[in-house]
Amino acid sequence: MPAPLPTSPKTIVLTGATGYVGGQLLPALLDAGHTVRCVVRTPDHADLPDGAELVKGDVLSGDGLAEAAAGADVAYYLVHSMGGGDGDEDFAARDRRAAKTFGAAMARAGVARTIYLGGLEGSGDDAESEHLRSRLEVAEVLAEEVDELVHVRAAMIVGAGSASFQMLSGLVRHLPVMITPKWLQTRSQPVAIEDVVATLAALAVRDDAPQEVQLGGADVLTYREMLRRFAAVEGRRQPLLLPVPLFTPRLSSYWVALITPVQLSLVKPLVEGLSTETVVREPPPDGLNDAPLGFDDAVRAALAG
């Protein structure tokens, strides 16, 4: 039975502070009065808000993790590879190793709760994408190591810095006529970055945090419907969508990378994941994501940001 979390404010270990979600979460944690230690590999290049504590560290090697975790109450693991690995070690093996190193360091330091942001997708062999399966593996590795894991599983995040959102907007803006692969019919429950951040921040102080939190927005839509609704929000002509059922995810990846500003190394896992339905099956408990934004409002907020 994990030790209860002390009264706020907390001392928090934050990985991924220089990434999109971590960069949005950090100011929210600081505004709530928490002490936040950001584990970054190159502190000199980290442009973080005033009040954030920088700790030079690496989740793969373990360097700096003991210093960051000393006396901490909560840890956020917002790290996951999207590209391939170096040498003979593939990205999934590297992610498992990093999760084990980080989790063991948090356990040794007595950190009461670790919060991991993964994806909302099928489990085990149900996830067709290698990257989606890897996210689940990271959660499993962390759960074996830490005292208490809260696995937050989010659908596509709608926000200005989200690669999925940039891919969506790039398609709408640059392709008035699209050949549409089969994955455009897959249902998803896109969630606003504001709702993801609010949920993650709330979990740092919630006494009865569940083991898993599934996050989605107010609307369940196919990718085709998202394309059309994004165009409507921006006041653009509706794109002409021409179905091509045999258009494979691999071919789709090259096509999307050519049209959108997202790099091919990111597009490939994102497109692979689009064949898997990402819909909330078990709503979170009361007090977590009670009134999520709908898709149109989330797009407006992202465009404004």
3-state secondary structure 151-220: EEEECCEECCCCHHHHHHHHHHHHCCEEEECHHHHCEECCEEHHHHHHHHHHHCCCCCCCCEEEECCCCC
Tens-digit pLDDT string for the chain (305 aa): 455 555 579 999 999 999 999 999 999 999 999 999 999 998 888 889 999 999 999 999 999 999 999 999 999 999 987 554 444 358 788 899 999 999 999 999 999 999 999 988 754 444 556 777 788 899 999 999 999 999 999 999 999 998 888 888 887 887 665 666 666 788 999 999 999 999 999 999 999 899 999 999 999 999 889 988 999 999 888 776 666 665 555 656 655 666 666 666 666 666 666 678 889 999 999 999 999 999 999 999 999 97
- CB distance 172 to 229 below 8 Å: no
Domain spans in the chain, listed from the N-terminal domain onward: 11-154, 159-188+219-278+290-305
User: Which tokens sit at 11?
Assistant: 């001392």
> How far apart are the C-alpha atoms of 279 and 120, rounded to whole Å?
7
> How far apart are the C-alpha atoms of 108 and 67, rounded to whole Å?
12
> How far apart are the C-alpha atoms of 162 and 229, rounded to whole Å?
18
CATH number for the domain formed by residue range(s) 159-188+219-278+290-305: 3.90.25
- CB distance 136 to 113 below 8 Å: no
Domain 11-154: CATH architecture, name and number where available: 3-Layer(aba) Sandwich (3.40)
Tell which residue, 109, 9, 100, 99, has the closest CA to residue 68. Answer: 109
- Non-local (6+) Cβ contacts of 186 within 8 A are 222, 223, 274, 275, 276, 277
pLDDT digits (tens, 9 = 90+) for 265-291: 666 666 666 678 889 999 999 999 999
